[in-house]
Amino acid sequence: MQTLLLDTLANSAAPHYTREPAPSAEAQLARFARDALIEEARLTPKPALVDARGSGAHVDLDLATMLHSAHALEPTFEALARASRGATPGSALRTDLARIGRAGEVAMMRATGGSNAHRGAIWIVGLLVAGATIMHTPADDASAFAHAHAIADTAAQIARFDDCLAAPAAPSNGERVRARYNVGGAREQAQHGFPHVIRVGLPALHAARAQGHDEATARVDTLLAIMASLDDTCVLHRAGLAGHEAAQGGAQRVRDAGGIATRAGRAAFDVLERSLLALNASPGGAADLLAATLFIDRLLQHRIGGRTVSWNN
């Protein structure tokens, strides 16, 4: 009787664990996309952008709003991945993804009280989610560049098709900027295979890590590398060529001074930020491409079991 009682007590005291089912591939990609937006938003300091210090050049955004937007978009990214599973780049897929993206914009606006936190990221990161769904990344790190390039190229193939359900609309701010200044913008970035992610962002991120910088420093330096050569339509819309020159030239001066981790680099960063704030210029396009860089980087690390990816170009 005593043995039975002890066994009963032991069994009742023992914890009972229920193994949760592993998330689907689509859900995992959506989490990576969400986390990339969160990590970009939280990264501090960023010049004239929303970060943990404040709103930068934005009057309608803060860090809490950016985080609400990122979480609200997770179902959109999962829907984009589900729509891409088993599909091939074409007009039908492009139209389906655009429909889902427009619904995502509605969800974003609802979560932010009407502020545009991530419209560009829905397009950029969303296409890469679709590309990653179609182009599975092999579980080895021998050719990380090739794997990332394959994902971006698949996304680019999708972006080159037209959205058959797109209703005629007045030109957006980005379209007006592209026409006025003869720059490509987010659409051209996508159609050309995201060169500022594949050939600028990822190499800069991995180079900074290889130099022994902490992760936050590596990511800030990656943002600056993107800014230094990007024709950022967000900057051009807000501040024209003066903002464009301030953003590109200022970011390059930080890099030439050794990056954000050096005393000279931090001083140059502060000058860059003051210049952008004075012009009310926010490098939002570069921020979206940094989020895309973090998404691809996270995806590659996950595929090789969390180990550091070697960036063999």
Which domain does 111 fall in, by range? 24-163+171-303
Q: Specify if 311 maps to a domain.
A: no
Q: Specify if 14 maps to a domain.
A: no
Q: Specify if 75 maps to a domain.
A: yes
Q: Specify if 2 maps to a domain.
A: no
Task: State the CATH number of the domain containing residue 32.
Answer: 1.10.4200
Joined tokens for residue 170: 């007045």
CA 306 to chain centre: 19
Supply the pLDDT for residue 18.
60
Q: How many domains does the chain have?
A: 1
Q: Specify if 7 maps to a domain.
A: no
Supply the pLDDT for residue 3.
44
Tens-level pLDDT at each residue, the chain (313 residues): 444 433 443 454 555 556 667 789 999 999 999 999 999 999 999 999 999 999 999 999 999 999 999 999 999 999 999 999 999 999 999 999 999 999 999 999 999 999 999 999 999 999 999 999 998 745 454 577 888 999 999 999 999 999 988 776 667 777 888 888 888 888 999 999 999 999 999 999 999 999 999 999 999 999 999 999 999 999 999 999 999 999 999 999 999 999 999 999 999 999 999 999 999 999 999 999 999 999 999 998 887 666 666 555 5
Backbone dihedral angles phi then psi of residue 255, each to the nearest 5 degrees: -65, -45
Q: Specify if 10 maps to a domain.
A: no
**Nearest in space to 250 (alpha carbons), one of 279, 227, 234, 281:** 227
Contact 219, 43 (CB under 8 A): yes
Identify residue 20 by its one-letter amino acid code. Answer: E
Burial of 305 (0-12, 13-18, 19+ CB in 10 A): exposed
Contact 126, 101 (CB under 8 A): yes
Contact 236, 243 (CB under 8 A): yes
Q: Specify if 313 maps to a domain.
A: no
* Single pTM value for the model: 0.89
- Distance separating alpha carbons of residues 34 and 169, to the nearest angstrom: 29
- Distance separating alpha carbons of residues 12 and 7, to the nearest angstrom: 9
- Distance separating alpha carbons of residues 193 and 264, to the nearest angstrom: 34
**Nearest in space to 234 (alpha carbons), one of 191, 187, 173:** 173
Q: Specify if 243 maps to a domain.
A: yes
Instruction: Give the angle subtended at the CA of 193 by the CAs of 174 and 46, to the nearest 5°.
Output: 60
